[in-house]
Every structure is written in structure tokens, then in C-alpha cells.
Copies of this chain bind each other. A is one copy, B any other.
Amino acid sequence: MIKAGENGNDRSVTQTVRAQLALRDLVLRGELNPGERVSELQMVERLGVSRTPVRMALVRLEEEGLLEAIPSGGFSVKTFSEKEVFEAIEIRGTLEGLAARLAAERGVSRTDLRNAADCLDAIDDVMRRNPADIDLLRYVELNARFHDILIGMADSQALARQLERVNALPFASPSALVPVQSRSPEMNYILSVAQDQHHCVLSAIERREGARAEAIMREHARIAHRNLERALTNQRDMDLVPGSVLIKRRIRA
């Protein structure tokens, strides 16, 4: 049954993890109809592992928020209303704000500051090097890294855990909605505003200005709100949003 080379059997990676990754992929790509029940046996067929790891994967994906437990047993693919997506982003902004405040109030090490500053330098570089055709992939990567560094500076395992959970929703993570801008003439403008906020929050943390650091990160998340709003009105941009198939669209005027 185990055919090496077929789907990257590594022996070090458990079947459970493999099933989890594969299932998440199926859900996010919309190959499982939202709202539909996810049958264990069908997944056994489809993923090529036995029921036990499929079961574990289902439980973990429910924990991630991508699946929903059915009262009578089993799981179904979760759907999200537009409202829920906005709220998820708002929650992320609030928690990142808390992280920034904690970092500012407690103070951070010189090396942390250095790492963050280096990361911002790299982003500046990306934006300066080729303003007409920005390397979005690299921007997204660096942006995610900065946010991770920020969370790290708060030095709070509990907070990191909570944020991990919010970011598990594919459309809520810090970099999820950046690509939506790619078809907009305003992209450079928005990106530079966002990057300015990055600089400002780092400066605030350095000066131990907690309230300011918090406010900036909250506002920073609002950029994602704007991008989402754009994607919802321009339907053709929706395919740039990860997990967009899970979003129950409302009729829009």
C-alpha cells in the first residue's frame, strides 16, 4: 500500500500529518463542497491511508476551524459568512495589538530589534528595487516574517498560541489578502502605507510607547479589511483569496 515516491512518503512524517495536509488542501481548494459531510471512508479511499489517521486529521482540522462537528457524529466542511471573515481579521488585529503593547511595555532585546529592523530593510529593498513590478511573493514572505517576529517579541506563549489559531484560517493570516492588491493601481500606495506602519510600530516598541504600538497594529489589520472589501466587490479578485470557496457570498448591489 505504501508506495514511496507517490506522495512523498518520508517515513519520518506520520500518516496523520500527511492526511491532515492533504485534507486541508482538499478543503481549501474547494474539492469538498462547503457544508457537505466529510465521509471518513471516502477520505480513506482518496488519501490512501486508513481510518485512524483520517480521523485524527478530521479532529485537528475541526480544531483549526476548517471543519465543523455534526451533532450526530462526523464532520462537515465549514462555511464562513463575510461577517465572520471580517471578524477574524479584527480578532487578529486586536491580538497583534496586544502583542505589540506587551513588547513595548516589557521592552525587547537588542537582537530582536535588530532582526525586525533587518526584515523591514529587506521589505524596503523589495519595494525600491523594482517599483513597477514588485516581487509580491517575496513581499508576502517578508511580511509574514515581520509579523512572526513581532509576535515573538511579546514573549508570550499563550498569546502566540491564540494567534496561531486565528492565522490558521487561510484568509485571516497577515499576508493572506496582500495578493488581492496585485491588480490594483493603488497597490504601491497601499503597500507603502502598510510598510510605514511596520516602521512606526517598531519605533513605538523601541520607545516603549505601548498604547501607540497597539493602536498601530490594530489599524494595520484594517488594510486587510480594505483588501477583502475590494475582493468582495470585484468578484474576479476573489480567486486571489486563499480559501475563498469557503466564503458564503452575499448578494451585493
List the interface of chain A (C-beta within 8 A of B).
56, 59-60, 63, 65, 83-84, 87-88, 90-91, 94-95, 98, 102, 156-159, 161-162, 165-166
Once bound together, how far apart are the Cα atoms of A165 and B159, in whole Å? 12
Q: Which residues of B contact A88 (CB under 8 A)?
A: 158
Which of chain B's residues has its CB closest to A157's CB?
B84
Number of copies: 2
Once bound together, how far apart are the Cα atoms of A88 and B91, in whole Å? 16
Which of chain B's residues has its CB closest to A90's CB?
B98
Q: State which of B84, B90, B162 has its C-beta within 8 Å of the C-beta of A91.
A: B162
Q: Which residues of B contact A90 (CB under 8 A)?
A: 98, 102
Q: State which of B56, B65, B95, B166 has its C-beta within 8 Å of the C-beta of A94.
A: B95
Q: In the complex, are the beta carbons of B91 and A95 less than 8 A apart? A: yes
Task: Supply 22 A–B pairs (Cβ within 8 Å), ascending by A.
Answer: A56-B59, A59-B59, A59-B60, A63-B63, A65-B161, A83-B156, A84-B156, A84-B157, A84-B158, A87-B156, A87-B157, A87-B159, A88-B158, A90-B98, A91-B158, A91-B159, A91-B162, A94-B95, A94-B98, A162-B162, A162-B166, A165-B165
Q: Which residues of B contact A162 (CB under 8 A)?
A: 91, 162, 165-166
Once bound together, how far apart are the Cα atoms of A84 and B155, in whole Å? 10
- Given A63-B63, A95-B94, check contact A87 B56 (CB 8 Å): no
Known: A59-B60, A63-B63. 4 other contacts (CB 8 A): A56-B59, A83-B156, A84-B158, A91-B98
Nearest Cβ on chain B to A202's Cβ, whole angstroms: 21
Q: Which residues of B contact A161 (CB under 8 A)?
A: 65
Which of chain B's residues has its CB closest to A65's CB?
B161
Once bound together, how far apart are the Cα atoms of A246 and B130, in whole Å? 53
Q: Which residues of B contact A87 (CB under 8 A)?
A: 102, 156-159
Q: Which residues of B contact A63 (CB under 8 A)?
A: 63
Nearest Cβ on chain B to A13's Cβ, whole angstroms: 13
Nearest Cβ on chain B to A151's Cβ, whole angstroms: 13
